[in-house]
Amino acid sequence: MQLLALGLFAFGMDSLAFSQIERSASWRHGKQERFGARPANQYLGPGEDTITITGTLVPEIAGSRSALPTLHDMADTGDAHALILGTGELIGNFTINSVAESQSNFLDNGVPRKNDFTITLGRVDG
């Protein structure tokens, strides 16, 4: 079962499960100072729309070691990808702006058993 899809990458228990999604959206307003009155205000349109996905990858329990490198490869292209909720709702087209990782609980060969991650997406469509 997929929790979320970014382009052809499906977030889920077999690939990369997340624990939290945060969304921050803004709208732009232009202001013009006026003498003896409040500034004139004009709506200019949508501003930044950012989604932050956080979670922990523990391949021995759930997820795949290849998931984060796959997201790095997707980010390297600079392409926008459709972001679709598990319910089928299209959120919009997003680029991968950053992927941060923290590794811990290493095996004797240096392979991490636990990878905390944060992925930041930025909306690029209207």
pTM: 0.86
pLDDT given at position 107? 87
Does residue 2 surpass a pLDDT of 90?
no
What is each CA distance from 78 to 62, 67, 118, in whole angstroms? 28, 18, 18
Per-residue pLDDT tens digits for 39-80: 999 999 999 999 999 999 998 888 899 999 999 999 999 999
Contact, 9 vs 70, CB < 8 A?
A: yes
Quote the mean pLDDT of the chain. 93
pLDDT at 110: 85
User: How far is C-alpha 48 from the chain's CA centre?
Assistant: 13
